[in-house]
Amino acid sequence: MTSDPALQFWHHYAAREGALVDEEGARMVVVLPSQLQQRHGLEEAIEVTSDPSLAREAGVLLLIAGHPLLDAAASRVLEEGDAGHRWLEWPATPPPSAAQLLKAARDGVGVDHGRIDLAGVPAARYSPLLRVGSRVTYSLHDRFNEQEEVWVDAASGLPLPESLARQAATLPQLQGRPAHPAAPLDLSRAVASAHRLLEARTEARLRSLAAQVTRFRTDEETLAETYYRSALESIEERRQAAPPDRQALLDAQAEATRAEWARRREEIREKFAPQRELRPVRLHVVWVPSVSLPVVVRRGARAFPFTLSWWLPTAGFATPACPGCGSGAQLVASRDRLQCRECLPKAPQEASSPAQTLAPPPAAPAEPSPPAGSRQGDLTPRRPGGGGTLPGQPSWELPPRTLAALRQAAEQLERSRRRVLRAGENLSISFWQAVFNGDSWPRKRADPASPLRIAYRLYGAAGPLWAAGLPPEVLPLQISSGTHEPEPGMLHCTDGFLRSTAGDFPFSLHWRMEMGKPAVQEVLPVLGAIDGRLSSILVAASLRQGPPPDPDPRRGELDPVAGTLWRTLLPRFGLSLVLRCLAAWERVRQRELPEGEEATLAAAVAAEVGRRAGLGLSRARAAEEFGADPGQVAAAARALQSDLKLSDWCWW
């Protein structure tokens, strides 16, 4: 079966609806039943492919992400939902002994002021996990969809470690009936916890996206204000020169213009109001092999019984939930109960006499003003009637040297912010001018192992044009751009539109300050992407534009791993991800690596970079894409992690 996700989905969907599917290499022939023909307006037999070159040469339907046929099929599947149970296959290796589990519990879990001892025999059982997937529809001037997925412990509702979630999604499913008992699950708590995680994750994503359209909203508001203010000034000028019988008519016209201005303001506000809508599409209870370890937490003569769960896939304990509040905070054995630090009773403040027992000071207002006679920066708690510190209370007054250092650090951050925004004001114009003139400064300032330098190495002076999805023959007419607020440690982002004879092209420049000047590291054919994530919209847009030409052989051939990355990823994910993968490989290719494993190394690089880019390219999927062994790909990816050190600040 083809490894392309879009064709895989269409294959399963059509076969489920009763279609006959026959694969011929990169081409798929589908014979549709009558109800499927009527539903999608198709002929009885169609040929589809995900290969753009094959679609152009043979006239076959190009079925890739974003195609209306796939969207319609996906909407129908989403209406049905996906819910059920999945039991994972029990591992063949024996579980750890009771002594080994006890040592791991004391080392890895631990309880403050308490000692963990065995209270029974470990028991093999299936522990429940909850996998919740949701389609998120974001509305920010335009509407688009993304997929979010969270995993939680279905017994405690606590989030799962990423390592366990990845393994639970890829481990083989049990064939037949389970031979071990199942632990109890709290589905209502788990669903509520998953919902909170989805809400928090999508809210953060919405804030990131909203920052990308702020400039466009400001432009529309400025345009509207200029228009209506000019209209009102014109009406007022005519009113001053008009006879009394026409002044009332002009007054009514001015009032109608003000009302229309207010309506336009509200229209712009609603147009750019960031909104999101979550629609759950997957609810799976995944039963994972585990060992239940009954323990007792001792503090002196007191003992508190407790149960720990050892997950066999990751060889680690599940985070224990606090018996009081259910959080995953560090547990503490107090005198009378086992609880987390947040649940510990707060000791009352001691007072030297009843007359000195004061109520806690009221919360400070949002923007406090210093009381009369106080010094700026004086944080010492004072009596309600003025005077010194409260009896028995510590002094919170910061030394003058500390306050001066804090003010100096804040001023330095503000100067750095203004410097970045000033540098970004003219960056896009100077950058694209240099690109279209064939100047060399953009490539000289970029790191050798950056997507921009890789694009230059492949295509010469036309490298940034191909990276931005611009035809080489485009003639620029006008550039409009702006720079996003800088985030500490991250690449800065300047984006906008390049208006040309061939239309308007969006672009984003990722750059950083070097020696006081901006150095562009990456060019993308979309707006935003300030968090480094490459959305499915970018991939679909890159594929619709068609693949770029093969690199110029006069500039040097790609090594075997780089060539494998190019041939495999370009038709599936577009040029942006390929350039990032080649930049990452440029950083690590000099190290000693085994020969004859080009597909394994390429899959490992693609998995690490693709996951950081938010494309869901897991190690198992990367192994399938490159035709490599999943175990070897996982081992190679772990070996490359220490060299690549990818993070939210390092994307390739």
Kindly report the CATH number assigned to the domain that includes residue 500.
Answer: 3.10.450
Return the pLDDT at 544.
Answer: 60
Are residues 605 and 496 located together in one domain of the fold? no
Over 60: is that where the pLDDT of 359 sits?
A: no
More confident residue, 376 or 60: 60
In the predicted structure, residue 388 carries a pLDDT above the cut 60: no
Domain identity same for 330 and 427: no
How far are the Cα atoms of 77, 511, 526 from residue 612, in angstroms, in the given order?
Answer: 28, 18, 18
> Taking residues 133-151, what's their average pLDDT?
84
Q: What pLDDT sits at residue 384? A: 35
Confidence of residue 330 (pLDDT cuts 50, 70, 90): confident
Give the lowest-confidence range in 155-164, 202-211, 371-380, 483-492. 371-380
- Mapped onto helix, strand or coil, the DSSP state of residue 562 is helix
Has residue 288 been placed in a domain? yes
When pLDDT is averaged across residues 66-81 and rounded to a whole number, the result is 79
Q: Are residues 138 and 22 in the same domain?
A: no
Sign of CA dihedral 34, 39, 43, 47: negative
pLDDT of residue 129: 93
Going by C-alpha positions, the residue among 307, 390, 407, 317 that lies closest to residue 356 is 390
Which of 531, 556, 579 is the C-terminal boundary of a domain?
Answer: 531
d(CA 14, CA 18): 7
Asked if 421 contacts 513 with a C-beta cutoff of 8 angstroms, the reply is no
Q: How far apart are CA 289 and CA 123, in angstroms?
A: 11
Residue 593 has pLDDT above 70, yes or no: no
Domain boundary among 309, 342, 375: 342
Asked if 604 and 652 sit in the same domain, the reply is yes
Which H or E run contains 342? none
Whether residue 600 is predicted with pLDDT greater than 70 in this model: the reply is yes
Whether pLDDT at 406 is above 70: no
Q: What is the mean pLDDT of residues 520-549?
A: 74
pLDDT, tens digit (0-9, with 9 covering 90-100), for 430-448: 898 888 888 877 877 788 8
User: Do residues 131 and 103 share a domain?
Assistant: yes
pLDDT band at 348 (very low <50, low <70, confident <90, very high): very low
Task: Look up the CATH number of the domain holding residue 646.
Answer: 1.10.472
Q: Are 64 and 102 in a shared domain? A: no
Task: Please report the pLDDT score of residue 346 as a whole number.
Answer: 56
Model confidence at 574: pLDDT above 90? no
CATH number where 37 lies: 3.30.360.80
Q: What are phi and psi of 233, to 5 degrees?
A: -65, -40
pLDDT over 90 percentage in the chain? 11
Query: Buried (b) or exposed (e) across 543-560, using 16+ Cβ within 10 A?
Result: bebebbeebeeeeeebee
* Residues 184 and 288 both lie in one domain: yes
What tokens appear for 306 in the block?
Answer: 């407790």
Identify whether 322 is part of a domain.
yes
Domain that holds residue 250: 211-272
Instruction: Tell me, yes or no, whether 189 and 227 share the same domain.
Output: no
Confidence at residue 581, expressed as pLDDT on a 0 to 100 scale: 92
**Quick one: pLDDT band at residue 381, thresholds 50, 70, 90?**
very low
Classify residue 293: in a domain, yes or no: yes
User: What is the CA 441 to chain-centroid distance, rounded?
Assistant: 32
pTM, two decimals, is 0.47
| 191 close to 105: Cβ distance less than 8 angstroms | no
Asked whether 281 and 82 are in contact (CB, 8 A), the reply is: yes
Q: Is the pLDDT of residue 395 over 70?
A: no
Q: Is residue 369 part of a domain?
A: no
Let me know whether 28 and 107 are in one domain. Answer: no
- pLDDT number for residue 360: 39
In a domain, 31, yes or no: yes
Residue 160 in any domain: the answer is yes
Q: Which domain-ending residue is among 219, 250, 272?
A: 272
Task: Assign 399 a pLDDT band (cuts: 50, 70, 90).
Answer: low
Average pLDDT, the chain: 80
Q: Tell me the C-alpha to C-alpha distance, in Å, between residue 396 and each of 286, 320, 372, 381.
A: 51, 36, 19, 7
CA distances from 206 to 32, 140, 200, 201, 277 (A): 40, 9, 10, 9, 11
pLDDT at residue 602 is higher than 80: yes
User: Rounded to an integer, what distance in angstroms lies between the CA atom of residue 315 and that of residue 291?
Assistant: 10
Q: Does 240 fall in a domain?
A: yes
State the pLDDT at residue 436.
83
Please say if the pLDDT value at position 428 is more than 80. Answer: yes
Looking at the domain assignment, is residue 465 inside a domain?
yes
Band (128; pLDDT cuts 50, 70, 90): very high
| Minimum mean pLDDT range among 54-63, 258-267, 355-364, 643-652 | 355-364
Indicate if 183 and 39 belong to the same structural domain: no
Structure confidence at residue 393 (pLDDT): 38
pLDDT at 56 over 50: yes
Do residues 533 and 510 touch, judged by C-beta distance below 8 A? no
% of the chain residues with pLDDT over 70: 85
Residue 190 shares a structural domain with residue 311:
yes
Predicted local distance difference test score (pLDDT) of residue 13: 86
Confidence (pLDDT) at 605: 92
Residue 287: pLDDT above 90?
A: yes
| Least reliable range by pLDDT among 47-61, 77-91, 288-302, 384-398 | 384-398
Number of domains in the chain: 5
Least confident of 127-131, 142-146, 455-459: 142-146
* 300 and 322 housed in the same domain: yes
